[in-house]
Structure 1
Amino acid sequence: MKCEPWILIALSAAALVAGCGGESPPAAQPSSCEPPDPALAERDADELFAGSEVLRFDFNLPAERWTALKASASDEEYVESEVCYQGKSLGVAGLRFKGGSGTLDECVEEGEEITCPKLSMKVKFDEYVDGQRFYDMRRMNFHAMTRDDTKLRERLAYDLYREMGVAAPRSAWATLYVNGETLGLYAVVEEIDGRFVDHHFPDDQDGALYKEAWPISTETSYYAERIDANEEEATHAGFVAFAEALAVSEGQARLAALLEWTDVAELARYMAVDDAIMNFDGASTFYVDDKDGSVSNHNYFFYEEPSSGTFRLIPWDLDNTLNLAAFENYGEVPHWTEAPADCAAEFPVYMGDETVRAPGCDPLFGGLSEDVAGYQAALDDLLAGPFSEARLQAEVKRYADLLRAAVAADPYGPTVEAWERSVARLESDIPLMRERLAR
């Protein structure tokens, strides 16, 4: 672990002892920030994600390193950068681009030419300094929101899950700067990792956290490949037993198995929000691989509570939700409560670019669909509370007022006029979103 001399001025003496030493750096990039505030390491992140202001983060690094990072964006490898928050240096941390098949891959052409005005980024605060934290977090995501013309959807959607008692990332907004030059407005999204678990499951920490592992396999290797936190202690026996219990049961017996391994009432609340926000790229979308015919879903995590052994579903990647126009890409896929006669049937989505299988044929959703009354009760609570027309439109207005100046100052985003039209369209779509939930 090394920290380069050009950046050491930004670190406290304690951080220097923690793990720097090393090689000669490239040309120095002086820090533009004030000395560190040690209190920022352990403050409550609820304060950071309060949504009362647009934050500012600065990244200071040699110009040639920034150029090299952009030239190898798809490698998703960290480089050293000073990170500053609201003018206060946080010290040296790891900085990289991030994304997936629908974001980073579409924005970086062969030869590493970047074709999008912005790329999402990730900061790892302890990449170069052991134990370094920011608001008790190890990592933080900055999402470019290139598919969200309102810049509001991700925050609104995560809020809805949490208001319905489902653990979900906290989020806010920030303007980013590299060496004093603006990158524009970004969403700040909490990382789902061990620190997330500690905050959202304070009474049941240190369990296994899995990224995009579904109870469909009885092979431990499947779960071992997908574990994301506390992998040293995990045996995956619980997930295997969960999958076996669903596989060998049907009807009410399958619901009984689900009751043993999950909080079914919480799952019903999860799916009520999922339906309301039209999360057509989440846990209930089972894509068919056109090469081998295998089926998989994505954009979720499962947390295994160590005391109860139950599994808690966590949503992820919601920037394209709450979008009636985008939902049209989902085609005529049956609702997750409905199982077609032919579960091998494939349904075209994204105007035929992809195909999916009916989620109602999945054992977990098959079991949950047996509790129609529980799902309807959750949906009623959502419609009367967080997803009420007045409540949601008030949130849209509040957040839009917060972002207006940052949108106007963003050289890579929509014009204020275009953005205002998008926000107005979202407001006018809210009654239609509520109407489509009546079934």
Structure 2
Amino acid sequence: MNRKSKNLLVSLLLITLGFSCQKDVEHSSNEGPTIIPMDSIVTPNEEANYLNFSSDYIFDQDKLPTFDLILSQENLDYLDDNPAREEYVEGSLMFENEMISQVGIRYKGSIGAFVNCVSGNNWTNPSGHKKCTKLSMKVKINYQDKARKFYGLKKLQFHAMNLDPTQMRDRLGYWLFRKAGVPAPRSIHCRLNINGTYYGVFALVEQIDGRFSKYHFDEGDGNVYKEVWPIRSNGNANSNNIFISALETNEETADVSLMTEFAQDIHEANPDSLTNLVERWMIPEEIISYAVIDRLIKNDDGAFHWYCSGNSCNNHNYYWYEDAVNKRMHLIPWDLDNAFENISGQNPVTRIADDWGATRNSCNPFAFGGFSFPQRSAACDKLTKAWVQFDNLYDTKKQEFITSIFSAETIDRKLNEWSQQIYDATEEAYELYDDAISISKWEAEISRLKNDLEIMRNQ
């Protein structure tokens, strides 16, 4: 950080922390977060880079950027008191000498993100104060001003990678999906400071929202849905209300008629018309490429893992984009922190029992894995069964990727490039924190990942 950056950061810290001469406020979980005083708000400069450059500047694969989050001590204590509360507090963001005040800041993550990182005893219902140095964070740029953007983005997501000893799963996984022609988030590594203290290397992952759809699709104004499958596990179409509740865009109009039509078509399709259904509603090469990459990286906590409770089964960690102009549905991968893990390891919760297209137990739920959690074969789902019928295309795409984007030469080069990029930052974090990964362990995990990928090339 240069002298100008340090001076700017110190100035804002003095404002937000209330100066060192003030007494510390003892935080109570009953107290709410504080609001930044009006005289502390930074007025945007119309010439600021973040107002004039696109998101490509942020997701530059050749840089390791540094982001600074600045919060009052009271607000930081409020977050640390119960990270799983996932409630925004007000703070500021500094990036490359430019300050943005009145942003929302909170911790984020699914159940797995908080395991062993909060003080509560029930890992299935995380609670309690923060224990780990790093936790994933979300910054809401438009917290106070709905129209405000940061390099064209409304949210920033910093993934802590606590479950990923390679520090590469997000970046490599999404890179592979995109190279295969699948719409997927952009991701880079970054350094994250909070109130002037370095917390470590994070993965900055693109938020899947309206900015995402406008960037990745020519007709980008359609609906984005989070974690809703067109049909239920019993084969019936989901209801309008279910689709509306899953909307991430266009909530005001909430027109889900196209998704409803898609769901009804799946429900009514007979076995002989399933391939026609896919050709009518999707781009076969795109969705089969999704399936190939998903299986090559063992994304076992994604759309093809059907977790069951009784006879009801559901999947998660995906989005849909609905192109209303061309009447096409696009499946988008999400949350890859458990990807790659089950190639040579055996996560007791996430591991999928079946190979692509296989079924067992007459499509009834069955216990599997170290914890014997019930799951159902993915190909028992009618839509997945339709994709499985493109077996020749699947085999063709798999061989194509193994000799190109998934080849040892290509992936090893990328992993070496990205490892060099974050080496010093990883070493610095290890010198500061007991729970940070050591260079020797990290390099061993990278080697293991390379070996695991070779296993997948030969399956």
| Contact in 2 for aligned 1:107/1:115 (Cα 8 Å) | yes
2:76 pairs, out of 56, 63, 66, with 66
Deviations 1:273-309 (A, max 9, x none): 10111100000000002xx532100000001101022
What residue ranges of structure 2 are gaps of 5+ in the alignment?
1-13, 17-32, 121-126, 232-236
Asked whether 1:44 is paired with 2:54, we answer: yes
Q: 1:312 to 1:72 in 2, by over 3 A?
A: same
Q: Which has the higher contact order (CA 8 A, sep 6+)?
A: 1
How does 1:95-174 map onto structure 2 within 5 Å? 95-104=105-114, 107-110=117-120, 112-174=128-190
How does 1:222-301 map onto structure 2 within 5 Å? 222-289=242-309, 292-301=310-319
Q: Counterpart of 1:334?
A: 354
Deviations 1:217-273 (A, max 9, x none): 241111112111112233322222222222222333112112211112210010011
Deviations 1:38-80 (A, max 9, x none): 2212312223212212211111221122112211322211111
1-structure distance, mates of 2:389, 2:458 = 24
Asked whether 1:391 is paired with 2:407, we answer: no
| Contact in 2 for aligned 1:74/1:105 (Cα 8 Å) | no
Asked whether 1:304 is paired with 2:322, we answer: yes
Q: Counterpart of 1:431?
A: 454
Q: Counterpart of 1:14?
A: none
Matched position secondary structure for 1:57: strand
2-structure distance, mates of 1:60, 1:416 = 29
2:383 pairs, out of 364, 367, 389, with 364
Deviates more, 1:423-432 or 1:157-166: 423-432
Aligned residues: 412
Matched position secondary structure for 1:148: coil
TM-score by length of 1: 0.88
2-structure distance, mates of 1:26, 1:139 = 19
| Contact in 2 for aligned 1:6/1:28 (Cα 8 Å) | no
Asked whether 1:373 is paired with 2:388, we answer: no
Asked whether 1:343 is paired with 2:366, we answer: no
Determine what percentage of the aligned residue pairs are the same residue: 29
How does 1:393-412 map onto structure 2 within 5 Å? 393-410=412-429, 411-412=432-433
Q: Counterpart of 1:13?
A: none
Q: 1:332 to 1:206 in 2, by over 3 A?
A: closer
2-structure distance, mates of 1:230, 1:390 = 43
Matched position secondary structure for 2:76: helix
1-structure distance, mates of 2:325, 2:38 = 51
Q: 1:73 to 1:345 in 2, by over 3 A?
A: closer
1:92 pairs, out of 97, 102, 108, with 102
2-structure distance, mates of 1:428, 1:257 = 39
How does 1:192-203 map onto structure 2 within 5 Å? 192-201=208-217, 203=218
Deviates more, 1:192-201 or 1:250-259: 250-259
Indicate the RMSD between aligned Cα atoms, in angstroms.
Answer: 2.6
Displacement after TM superposition at 1:360 (Å): 0.7
1:205 pairs, out of 201, 216, 220, with 220
Matched position secondary structure for 1:352: coil
TM-score by length of 2: 0.84
| Contact in 1 for aligned 2:41/2:102 (Cα 8 Å) | no
| Contact in 1 for aligned 2:368/2:374 (Cα 8 Å) | yes
Q: Counterpart of 1:11?
A: none
**Aligned-partner residue type, residue 104 of structure 1:** F
Q: 1:401 to 1:248 in 2, by over 3 A?
A: same
Matched position secondary structure for 2:332: strand
| Contact in 2 for aligned 1:193/1:228 (Cα 8 Å) | yes
2-structure distance, mates of 1:24, 1:138 = 22
**Aligned-partner residue type, residue 81 of structure 1:** G
Asked whether 1:325 is paired with 2:344, we answer: yes
